[in-house]
Amino acid sequence: MDHWGARFQSRRPLLISSVSRLLAIIAVLAPWPALAGPTGSSYLSELVARARSERLAATREWHLLLHYHENVFGGYTSEQDGPTFFLAPNGKTNPDAELEATLAGFFFDDLIGEAKQPVQCAFIGRYRWLKEKLAFDDRRLPPQSCEKFDRWIEALAPHSITMIFPSAFMNNPASMFGHTLLRVDRQGQTPQMRILAYTINFMAEVPDDEGLMFAVRGIAGGYKGGFSVIPYYLKVREYRDIENRDIWEYRLNLTDAQVRRLLMHVWEMGNASFDYFFFRENCSYQLLPLLEVADPSWRLTDQFTWWTLPGDTVRLATRQPGIVGAAVYRPARTTQIRRRYERLSSDERGLLRKILQEPALAREPSFQQRPVERKALLLDIASDYLRYQSITDEKQAEIYKARDREVLVARSELKVKSDDTPVEPFVTRPELGHRTTRIGMGAGYRQDEWFEEVNLRASYHDLLDPEPGYAPGYQIELLSGALRHYEKQNRTRLERFTLANVLSLTPADALFLSPSWKVNVGMQTLLHSGCRYCTAGVANGGAGLTFETHLLKREYFFGFGELETTYSHAFEEKHRAGGGGTLGMMADLTDRWRLLASAGYLRFALGEKSDEVRWSVGQRYTLAKDAALRFEFNHRERRDNEALFTIHAYF
Amino acid sequence: MMKRLLMLSLATAFIWGQAGIVLALNPGSSAYGNGPGCGLGAQIFDQKNILHQILASTTNQIVFFNQAFGITTGTLGCTNNNKFVQNEQATLFANLNFDNLSQEMAQGGGEHLASLATLMGVPAEQQPAFFAMTQEKYATLIESGETTPAAMLKALHEAMDQHPVLAKVSMTR
């Protein structure tokens, strides 16, 4: 989802002469006076007639190649938005006209598009498909050589395709849901050479200095997106080394013919451009048509109506029988540091911290006398950590780099290879996770009356949802609401609505002192002075720290300082604003059973002056991958107590 | 960190710019393919854009390339001379991966080092010897790498020439 980058290529429109010439052809569909001689024109008429009788423009293959989707009220529209992709002036909405204009284009040797190539080459996927369907006679429609395409394929040396999923990156809002891209694995590629393969990325072209408009335009489709093909080592560097994201690689089982079809279509994408919609037609979505072109029997894009989350596309691909082969895990640099750190004794941990400050210690006898494998492990962790520091703390980068150099020189003198035991992830594989839309039915007791409720959440994951596939301590809820019926008052009301509720608990330890933070914006139902159930708009945000223990299985203890502002008619002054703090604990009692408890105090000094003690206890029990039970108790506003029991299903 | 917190406090701004970089082989692009046999080194960088990107990326706290990154447009490109192309590929790779290479040379192996060895034409069976050599001569290799990655590659070739096994590889390159 996160591929927002400036692209450097300018996209020149089709050569004007080609456009006008093609327009001329379409205007005079018969009898083709302008064509390459009488043979060409009569053969074109013949091909068009056959394509019409075989209804090729109505086939799924044609729709996929042109990215047509059926409109709600009939007809078709292509998702492609650029000026150089259609050969017919009404190609965006008319598959028939586009097919006929494409056939006409194959007779021309004008060079079109940015790469200045004949139509047969610029739209090589269409050409090969139509050639096969209509069995082109090479003498009457001479094939043109596509040197640029051939060289491109030669440089890619394709063998197979791998879907790459860099996991979510909480500290960049554009990357909060993860990302997906494809990698074109090379012939004869060994595991060590995977980084040399090229990747296929869909990304938006974002001008600099966009500021806040970025969010608005990103969501509303205000940017252009296009495909780029860049080496995997740059992506590994970006995700693993700089952003510290775990990467999963899923080998796709495609035949040679499918790989070739996919790549021919990628080549065609060089003349395509798409409006980028952050939530649906995004980086992850745009890979799906490529896979559908590879095998038209797969139904992938249909599955996403409102939004496309990278994790969902991975789950969708893994659900298609036989598509996904082996999965490979590539740990983030921080994951590697933390896993290797776990292998150290407490004495070694102390020594590591000293070496990080003063690498010269690696020369001292107290270090030198240790077994060589332990020395290598210590120095490997030290180097990784100093690199991590040089990236996160730019001001001190030179100091960390100098220390790293010293560590590495000492490391080279050990003359042994590093232990290459695989590093285990802290998170289970993303495709094992629950789906992201959630519906719930519940019942409970508030104040002095019973209620029933239904709730629905558009996406994505909260702390009490089943954890497999999601990072622990990670929550993003977008567009979630609950409708509740109160028995005694016989009243049904919108109980709460969440615009966004984002929370990141990152355990701080001796090596990583990352802050935890939270932001919650939405509507809640208050009980305040005279007002029994009052609507309130609330915004809350805070920052704090989390610590992890393993007393039972795994426990997180967290503390936040926070600010909150509320707007409600329940208050005489209609609003209140203030701050306070929260302490809490999240504990896994078993693999399925989690407890989340917190207590907080807030003082509102502005508007309606008041203070409030809140506490809550929630428990979740996982029934299945996509089903869970939840019991919550909340205390607010001094006398507002509520107990709620819910069953959740994910779809 | 403050900047990051400030960023995040903009509650509804879900999206943030992320520096990306476009290198090589874009589909249907005229920038690709300046000569036969071109692979990795075929793309021409616009140096101004790269600098621009580095600036843009630091404001987002995402540093894409560090100081070791010193691509020059003049030396990139392809010719019919296969050896030259191979050299260019290795140089480009060393340029873009200098940090990881320097770490893996000290550690006696790794995927970046194996990939560089492959680009330099070292066959798989001789790569362990290549790894051991880079570890052995680490200090001198890195010293030359500090100036330019091209200088490091030159030093690597010289070291290979003096090596009993790898000298043959270097000769046949």
Contacts of B19 in chain A (CB under 8 A): 5-6
Question: What is chain A's mean pLDDT, rounded?
Answer: 88
Are A77 and A218 within one domain?
Answer: no
| Residue owning tokens 């690199």 | A387
Are A139 and A116 within one domain?
Answer: yes
Strands (E), A505-574: 516-528, 531-549, 554-568
Q: What whole-number distance in Å separates Cα of residue A59 and Cα of residue A66? A: 11
A9 with B26: Cβ contact below 8 A: yes
Q: Is A13 on the interface with B (CB under 8 A)?
A: no
CB atoms within 10 A of CB B42: 24
A214 with B105: Cβ contact below 8 A: no
Are A354 and A449 within one domain?
Answer: no
For residue B41, pLDDT over 50 is answered with no
Q: Is B32 on the interface with A (CB under 8 A)?
A: yes
Q: How far is CA A471 from CA A44, A481, A505, A557, in A?
A: 58, 24, 10, 16
Tell me whether residue A425 is in a domain: no
Domain range summary for chain B, segments of one domain joined by +:
20-85, 97-173
Residue B59: what pLDDT? 26
B108 with A212: Cβ contact below 8 A: no
* pLDDT band at B29; cut points 50, 70, 90: low
Q: Is B97 on the interface with A (CB under 8 A)?
A: yes
A408 with B30: Cβ contact below 8 A: no
Residue A124: what pLDDT? 96
The more confidently predicted of residues A88 and B96 is: A88
Are A309 and A437 within one domain?
Answer: no
Structural domain ending residue among the three candidates A118, A146, A174: A146
Residue A220: what pLDDT? 72
Residue A471: what pLDDT? 86
Q: For chain A, how many structural domains are there in total?
A: 4
Q: What percent of chain A has pLDDT over 90?
A: 65
For residue B67, pLDDT over 80 is answered with no
Least confident among A246-250, A322-326, A328-332 = A322-326
Residues 378-417 of A with CB under 8 A from B: 380, 383-384, 387, 391, 394, 397, 405, 408-409, 411-413, 415-417
Least confident among A16-30, A128-142, A153-167, A491-505 = A16-30
Contacts of B60 in chain A (CB under 8 A): 172
- DSSP 8-state symbol, A191: G
Tell me the whole-structure pTM to 2 decimals: 0.82
Q: From B151, B90, B95, select the one nearest B122 (Cα to Cα).
A: B90
Question: What is chain B's mean pLDDT, rounded?
Answer: 60
* pLDDT band at A630; cut points 50, 70, 90: very high
Q: Is A113 on the interface with B (CB under 8 A)?
A: yes
Q: From B33, B13, B16, select the one nearest B25 (Cα to Cα).
A: B33
For A199, the domain range is 153-330
Contacts of B110 in chain A (CB under 8 A): 418
Least confident among A272-281, A368-377, B124-133 = A272-281
The answer to whether the CB of A243 falls within 8 A of the CB of A156 is no
Distance from CA of A488 to the nearest CA of B (A): 37
For residue B139, pLDDT over 60 is answered with yes
Contacts of B136 in chain A (CB under 8 A): 412, 415
Beta bridge partners of A163: A182, A250
A500 with B13: Cβ contact below 8 A: no
Tell me whether residue A428 is in a domain: no
Q: Is B143 on the interface with A (CB under 8 A)?
A: no
Least confident among A76-80, A98-102, A196-200, A298-302 = A298-302
* pLDDT band at B113; cut points 50, 70, 90: very high
- DSSP 8-state symbol, A242: I
Distance from CA of A508 to the nearest CA of B (A): 15
Beta bridge partners of A641: A635
Are A595 and A478 within one domain?
Answer: yes
Are A203 and A118 within one domain?
Answer: no
Mean pLDDT of all residues in A553-573? 94
Q: Is A579 on the interface with B (CB under 8 A)?
A: no
Q: Listing from the earlier edge strand, what are the strands of the sheet with A274-276?
A: A274-276, A223-231, A198-205, A181-186, A158-166, A247-252, A324-330
The more confidently predicted of residues A586 and B39 is: A586
Are A583 and A618 within one domain?
Answer: yes
Going by C-beta distance under 8 Å and a sequence separation of 6 or more, which residues neighbour residue A146? A117, A118, A120, A121, A124
Q: What percent of chain B has pLDDT over 70?
A: 47
Are A324 and A269 within one domain?
Answer: yes
Residue A488: what pLDDT? 93
Q: What whole-number distance in Å separates Cα of residue A573 and Cα of residue A324? A: 59
Mean pLDDT of all residues in A163-186? 83
Distance from CA of B171 to the nearest CA of A (A): 23
Are A337 and A326 within one domain?
Answer: no
Tell me whether residue A550 is in a domain: yes
Tell me whether residue A8 is in a domain: no
With residue A382 as reference, give the H or E element that holds it: helix A372-392
Residue B164: what pLDDT? 85
* pLDDT band at A281; cut points 50, 70, 90: confident
Residue A4: what pLDDT? 46
Tell me whether residue A418 is in a domain: no
The answer to whether the CB of A460 falls within 8 A of the CB of A177 is yes
For residue B136, pLDDT over 70 is answered with yes
How many angstroms from the chain centroid is the CA of residue A74? 32
Are A215 and A345 within one domain?
Answer: no
Q: Is B160 on the interface with A (CB under 8 A)?
A: no
* pLDDT band at A211; cut points 50, 70, 90: low
Structural domain ending residue among the three candidates A99, A121, A146: A146
Structural domain ending residue among the three candidates A115, A146, A177: A146
Q: Is B69 on the interface with A (CB under 8 A)?
A: no
With residue A479 as reference, give the H or E element that holds it: strand A474-486
Residue A214: what pLDDT? 67
Mean pLDDT of all residues in B62-76? 26
Are A339 and A389 within one domain?
Answer: yes
Q: What is the dihedral of CA A376, A381, A386, A389, to 10 degrees?
A: 180
B10 with A543: Cβ contact below 8 A: no
Q: What percent of chain A has pLDDT over 70?
A: 92
Tell me whether residue A362 is in a domain: yes
Are A486 and A551 within one domain?
Answer: yes
Residue A178: what pLDDT? 82
Tell me whether residue A616 is in a domain: yes
Mean pLDDT of all residues in A263-277? 88
Residue B143: what pLDDT? 84
Residue A362's identity, in one-letter code, is: A
The answer to whether the CB of A236 falls within 8 A of the CB of A195 is yes
Q: Does the interface predicted TM-score (ipTM) exceed 0.90?
A: no
A195 with B42: Cβ contact below 8 A: no
Q: Is B63 on the interface with A (CB under 8 A)?
A: yes
Tell me whether residue A259 is in a domain: yes
For residue A217, pLDDT over 60 is answered with yes
For residue A186, pLDDT over 60 is answered with yes
